[in-house]
């Protein structure tokens, strides 16, 4: 019951080309879904670390197709309303439906709030919070028609508690948790569930990119971000995917408006 059979369903994953998004795409395909894999596939002025490439997105698509599932690469920026609308339209045109949305794309930078530039603040809020709303807005008419529509938003422990030197990220992720609850209320009459996942420190290019940007060693990353996790290892992306798959399963049919922490106990304090 805790493992979903997604045969015949269509999922859209943002930030799909690498890290957690890639892991989510592969698990969705393994569970039987066709997958529209969206990523910006280019570097942006914010953040300073590199974002995913088109080659990485194509590799994910090839892995999905190798499992015998349909895969659609979508090169789009979640900050761009027209690109998001077009990506959702292309998904529905290709697969005929859209059942599942995983809002995973995000960026991070770090500085005390008084040192953040307008550009850093704007980029993080626009990508991490408005992007979730924008993709969900475009997808809603289709997901509402699904017999088992699901939206899962990837938040962060920073969506539930504060962290110094991440004010914009924390504000955006708190927004994601609030947006999740509001969307859950509005979509309940269509029996669409909307949930969030709050990962702790996950082994991904984001964490590596941030460490590089700040000139930190892996040990220093552990000290700075993992001291609050009761289980101090960096969390593999597959464990976040495990929570996602449970939220998509029949066992979670009545779980909605919830934020599920996969955080090594960081929120236990």
Q: Which chain residues interact with ligand NAD by CB under 6 A?
A: 14-15, 17-21, 39-40, 51-52, 77-79, 104-107, 127, 154, 156, 199, 201-202, 204-207
Residue 188 or 231 having the CB closest to ligand NAD: 231
**In the numeric block, which tokens belong to residue 223?**
């000290």
Q: Tell the smallest beta-carbon distance from residue 137 to ligand NAD (Å).
A: 15
- Alpha helical stretches, state H, the chain: 19-30, 54-66, 81-95, 118-124, 131-143, 167-187, 205-214, 218-225, 237-248
C-beta of residue 135 within 8 angstroms of C-beta of residue 101: yes
Q: Tell the smallest beta-carbon distance from residue 165 to ligand NAD (Å).
A: 15
Number of neighbours of residue 145 by Cβ within 10 angstroms: 13
Q: Tell the smallest beta-carbon distance from residue 191 to ligand NAD (Å).
A: 26
Residue 53 or 146 having the CB closest to ligand NAD: 53
Please give the residue whose beta carbon sits closest to ligand NAD in the complex. 19
Residue 205 or 242 having the CB closest to ligand NAD: 205
Handedness of CA 104, 108, 114, 119 (dihedral sign): negative
Name the catalytic one among 169, 204, 235, 259: 169
Nearest Cα to Cα of residue 16 among 30, 42, 36, 33: 36
Beta bridge partners of 166: 111
Residue 148 or 224 having the CB closest to ligand NAD: 224
Nearest Cα to Cα of residue 89 among 128, 138, 133, 44: 138
Residue 193 or 204 having the CB closest to ligand NAD: 204
C-beta of residue 195 within 8 angstroms of C-beta of residue 247: yes
Q: Tell the smallest beta-carbon distance from residue 219 to ligand NAD (Å).
A: 16
Instruction: Please tell me the distance from the alpha carbon of residue 234 to that of residue 204, in angstroms, as a whole number.
Output: 9
Q: Tell the smallest beta-carbon distance from residue 146 to ligand NAD (Å).
A: 23
Specify whether 169 is catalytic: yes
* CA-based end-to-end distance of the chain: 31
Residues recognised as catalytic:
169
């Amino acid at each position: 019951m805790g493992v979903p059979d997604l045969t015949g369903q269509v999922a859209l994953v943002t930030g799909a080309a690498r890290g957690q998004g890639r892991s989510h795409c592969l698990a969705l395909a393994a569970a039987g879904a066709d997958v529209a894999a969206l990523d910006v596939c280019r570097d942006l002025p914010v953040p300073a670390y590199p974002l995913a490439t088109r080659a990485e997105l194509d590799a994910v698509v090839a892995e999905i197709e190798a499992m015998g599932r349909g895969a659609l690469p979508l090169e789009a920026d979640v900050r761009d309303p027209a690109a998001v609308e077009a990506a959702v339209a292309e998904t529905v045109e290709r697969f005929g439906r859209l059942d599942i949305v995983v809002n995973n794309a995000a960026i991070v930078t770090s500085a005390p709030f008084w040192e953040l530039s307008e550009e850093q603040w704007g980029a993080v809020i626009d990508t991490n919070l408005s992007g979730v709303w924008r993709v969900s807005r475009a997808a809603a008419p289709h997901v509402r028609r699904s017999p088992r529509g699901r939206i899962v938003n990837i938040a962060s422990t920073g969506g539930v508690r504060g962290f110094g030197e991440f004010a914009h990220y924390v504000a955006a992720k708190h927004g994601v948790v609030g947006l999740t609850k509001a969307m859950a209320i509005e979509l309940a009459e269509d029996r669409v569930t909307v949930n969030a996942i709050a990962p702790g420190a996950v082994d991904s290019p984001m964490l590596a990119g941030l460490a590089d940007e700040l000139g930190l060693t892996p040990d220093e990353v552990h000290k700075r971000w993992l001291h609050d996790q009761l289980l101090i290892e960096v969390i593999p992306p597959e464990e976040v995917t495990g929570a996602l798959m449970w939220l998509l399963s029949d066992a979670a049919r009545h779980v909605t408006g919830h934020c599920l922490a996969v955080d090594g106990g960081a929120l236990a304090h």
